[in-house]
């Protein structure tokens, strides 16, 4: 367990996927991790619910190949987002690069549409 809650949560999801588990429980989470999971849920890769009584996240993996945190967190200007798309995603039209902007956490499509930059947190496909 490290200090990075987002990286720990995504690693737990990948570890569960590697041993072919479809459900897992994450005990440490943050608002940033929940926002990343919201993006994954919107794309149909996972489903999750917050159990307020136990203070845990119950996650169900639907269709997910890879989800990883980007370390170190690079800052990408609007023109540099394409460079990181090529580095982390297998194809331009396949997967999502999660970028933290001044408008919240967005996928790379919204960042390119709004012509803004930000810090690259994670990617999934």
Question: Would you place residue 93 in the very low, low, confident or very high pLDDT band (cuts 50, 70, 90)?
Answer: confident
- Among 109, 102, 96, 66, residue whose Cα is nearest residue 119: 102
pLDDT of 12: 97
CA distance 122 to 53: 28
Where does a domain end: 13, 41, 61?
61
Domain containing residue 89: 67-124
Specify the number of domains making up the chain. Answer: 2
* pLDDT > 80? residue 15: yes
54 plus 73 within the same structural domain: no
CA distance 3 to 37: 18
55 plus 102 within the same structural domain: no
Task: Give me the CATH number covering residue 30.
Answer: 3.30.1370.30
pLDDT of 24: 97
90 plus 45 within the same structural domain: no
18 plus 57 within the same structural domain: yes
CB-based contacts of 69, cutoff 8 Å, min separation 6: 4, 6, 7, 10, 11, 121, 122
The count of other CB atoms within 10 Å of the CB of residue 36 is 23
36 plus 72 within the same structural domain: no
* pLDDT > 80? residue 1: no
Question: Would you place residue 20 in the very low, low, confident or very high pLDDT band (cuts 50, 70, 90)?
Answer: very high
- Choose between 104 and 93: higher pLDDT: 104
Task: Give me the CATH number covering residue 107.
Answer: 3.30.1490.10
Tell me how far CA of residue 36 lies from CA of 13, 19, 55, in angstroms: 12, 22, 18
Q: What is the pLDDT of residues 36-50, one digit of tens each?
A: 999 999 999 999 999
């Amino acid at each position: 367990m490290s200090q990075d809650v987002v990286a720990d949560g995504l690693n737990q999801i990948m570890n569960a996927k590697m041993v072919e588990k479809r459900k897992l429980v994450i005990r440490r989470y943050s608002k940033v991790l929940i926002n990343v999971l919201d993006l994954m849920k919107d794309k149909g890769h996972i489903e999750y619910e917050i159990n307020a009584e136990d203070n845990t996240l119950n996650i169900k993996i639907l269709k997910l190949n890879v989800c990883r945190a980007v370390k170190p967190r690079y800052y990408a200007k609007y023109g540099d987002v394409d460079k990181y798309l090529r580095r982390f995603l297998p194809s331009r039209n396949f997967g999502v690069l999660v970028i933290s902007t001044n408008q919240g956490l967005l996928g790379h499509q919204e960042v390119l549409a709004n012509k803004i930059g930000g810090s690259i947190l994670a990617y999934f496909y």
